[in-house]
């Protein structure tokens, strides 16, 4: 990136396969599957019965009286942000909090609160809905709550770019630091919409897998993929100006080296079959990092397990990196399902650990490779290899494309 260097000094994650960033990474290394029958409501009247839910007793982390004032997506964001803040060591003693900001994405926001309060209004009268209904449901409230808890007084905002949101939040947060507007940005995404209405909406679009076998549900790049598995969770990164981090003696995990975004301007849900927009986002990120495609050692694919997305993303990767692309690729959505606006942030954490440890987590449960997705996909047990730069792709409804380059930190 041109301008000030941006480093990553804290992480927090809440996912279907791990409730801290370290547990999440260890589970991803092992290739654990977080897809299972839905437990949060009765699915007997619906076609889709599987999801990737976060298994955590939130009452052990946030007091019930406080949790009742938050939608689940905000609750997950707050828990992950607390971890990232603790992990970073940022305090008012070592940081000017007027130069510390928050940027958190959500694709849908408080949909579960909206549906619950609508039902209550129908039954009791709309003047009897919860007084917390509006602040619980609006998509910016995760960022607002995290700012209140952290005391960060700088820029506080919310990115809403569907499934590219988490990556956009991190990229835009990095730009804030790079251009000198802030020294610290707590960035990421949160999503929690495993509910009858959301599942029904995606089902009617023919977007979700409708089978009952978790091992054959979220199978990116498999010839027999038939839709994504809805997931939930949150991922947070503490981004920091390099000199600020060094001055306070911070532990530096990795560097946010590049960010690129673009728009297909093509269709409200379908990706452009030419993959032009995804290609531009990837090329913009590589250019922003001052690299060439040959420098990339791992690609964490968006890889949702839908027929069109995987095919178009594979085409974009081949167009940037060449036919017969040798760069290792995996989609960790095979383990976690698709967390919509949180996906890009959670997958950035995967890339941070991949460059730190030289390990590529697997694209699990891939049985029959789709010849139209001809990539160097890492399956089964993952792969140990030297990685200096990792690319993370995120693509969203509305034609949003975002790409991040995570670099190994070399002093």
Is position 244 annotated as part of the catalytic site? no
Helix spans in 253-342 (H): 276-288, 307-321, 333-336
Catalytic residue among 158, 338, 351, 373: 338
Phi, psi of 140 (to 5 degrees): -80, -5
Q: Who's near 104: CB < 8 A, 6+ residues apart?
A: 77, 81, 142, 143, 146, 158, 159, 169, 186, 187, 188, 189, 190, 236
Beta strand 328-330 with 376-377 is parallel
Catalytic residue among 156, 163, 187, 351: 163
Is position 302 annotated as part of the catalytic site? yes
- Cα 189 to the chain's mean position, in Å? 6
Catalytic residue among 302, 325, 373, 400: 302
Secondary structure of residue 372 in the 3-state scheme: helix
Is position 338 annotated as part of the catalytic site? yes
What is the token pair recorded at 4?
């000030």
What is the token pair recorded at 217?
């549900």
Residue 10's nearest CA partner among 80, 95, 78 is 80
Please list the residues that pair with 228 across neighbouring strands. 208
Cα–Cα distance measured from residue 87 to residue 54, given in angstroms and rounded to the nearest whole number: 21
Q: Give me the residue label for tokens 């988490």.
A: 166
Q: What is the dihedral of CA 108, 304, 217, 353, to 10 degrees?
A: -100
Active-site residue set: 163, 302, 338
């Amino acid at each position: 990136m041109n301008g000030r260097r941006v480093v990553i000094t804290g992480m927090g994650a809440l996912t279907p396969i791990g409730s801290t960033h370290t547990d999440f990474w260890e589970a991803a290394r092992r290739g654990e599957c977080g897809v299972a029958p839905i437990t949060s409501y009765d699915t007997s009247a619906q076609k889709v019965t599987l999801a990737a839910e976060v298994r955590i007793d939130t009452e052990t982390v946030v007091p019930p009286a406080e949790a009742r004032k938050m939608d689940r997506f905000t609750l997950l964001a707050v828990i992950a942000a607390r971890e990232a803040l603790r992990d970073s060591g940022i305090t008012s003693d070592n940081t000017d909090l007027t130069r510390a900001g928050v940027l958190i994405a959500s694709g849908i926001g408080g949909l579960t609160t909206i549906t619950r309060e609508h039902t209550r209004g129908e039954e009791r009268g709309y003047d009897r809905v919860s007084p917390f209904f509006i602040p619980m449901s609006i998509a910016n409230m995760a960022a607002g709550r995290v700012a209140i808890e952290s005391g960060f007084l700088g820029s506080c905002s919310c990115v809403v770019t569907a499934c590219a949101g988490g990556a956009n939040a991190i990229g835009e947060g990095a730009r804030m630091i790079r251009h000198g507007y802030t020294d610290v940005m707590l960035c990421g995404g949160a999503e929690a919409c495993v509910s009858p209405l959301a599942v029904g909406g995606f089902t009617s679009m023919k977007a979700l897998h409708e089978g009952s076998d978790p091992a054959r549900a979220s199978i990116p790049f498999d010839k027999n993929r038939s839709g994504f598995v809805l997931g939930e969770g949150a991922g947070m990164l503490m981004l920091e100006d390099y000199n600020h981090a060094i001055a306070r003696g911070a532990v530096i995990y990795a560097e946010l080296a590049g960010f690129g975004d673009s728009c297909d301007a093509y269709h409200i849900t379908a990706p452009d079959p030419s993959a032009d927009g995804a290609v531009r986002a990837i090329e913009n990120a590589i250019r922003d990092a001052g690299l060439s495609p040959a420098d990339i050692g791992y690609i964490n694919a968006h890889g949702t397990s839908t027929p069109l997305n995987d095919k178009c993303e594979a085409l974009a990767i081949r167009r940037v990196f060449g036919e017969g692309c040798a760069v290792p690729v995996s989609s960790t959505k095979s383990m976690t399902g698709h967390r919509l606006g949180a996906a890009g942030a959670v997958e950035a954490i995967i890339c941070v650990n991949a460059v730190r440890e030289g390990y590529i987590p697997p694209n699990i449960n891939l049985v029959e490779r789709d010849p139209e997705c001809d990539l160097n996909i890492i399956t089964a047990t993952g792969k140990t290899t030297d990685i200096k730069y990792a690319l993370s792709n995120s693509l969203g409804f509305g034609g949003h494309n975002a790409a991040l380059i995570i670099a190994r930190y070399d002093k």
